[in-house]
Amino acid sequence: MKVKEVMLDPITIEPDATVIETIKKMYDKGFGSMIIVDENKKLVGIITERDIVWFLAKNENIRAQINKIMTKKVICVSSSDTLNDAAELMKENKIKRLPVTERGKVVGVITADVLIQNKDSLDEPFLF
């Protein structure tokens, strides 16, 4: 099975958004992370709940821009890759979310939940 068959719509935000704007959008959408894209929808970073909690534990500036704390080296998967490829990347890197890209643009996201829901399509059980 290909990633594009089961990927979720991406929840994105711009790099100049503030921490508080990001928290509100994550809460509203029910996501534990946000994919950060530029004005052309190109992937520039990712930020997770954990990143925000650790930042706020050290700083109290909820108006800081997320481009200061986002992860810039993002592991991603292509929409034409298989679910097995995505599962292997997630296991190897101990991550729960993978942006899905086509020509550098974000087109979706694969999560651990998606892999679990489609476990019958995987060659091996998906375990962290």
Classify domain 3-121 at the CATH topology level: CBS-domain (3.10.580)
pLDDT category at 4 given cuts 50, 70, 90 is very high
- pLDDT for the residue numbered 104: 84
Ramachandran region, residue 2 (left: φ > 0; alpha: ψ -120 to 50; beta: rest):
beta
For 10-33, how does the pLDDT look when each residue is reduced to its tens digit (9 = 90+)?
999 999 999 999 999 999 999 899
The domain limits of the chain are 3-121
CA distance 22 to 34: 8
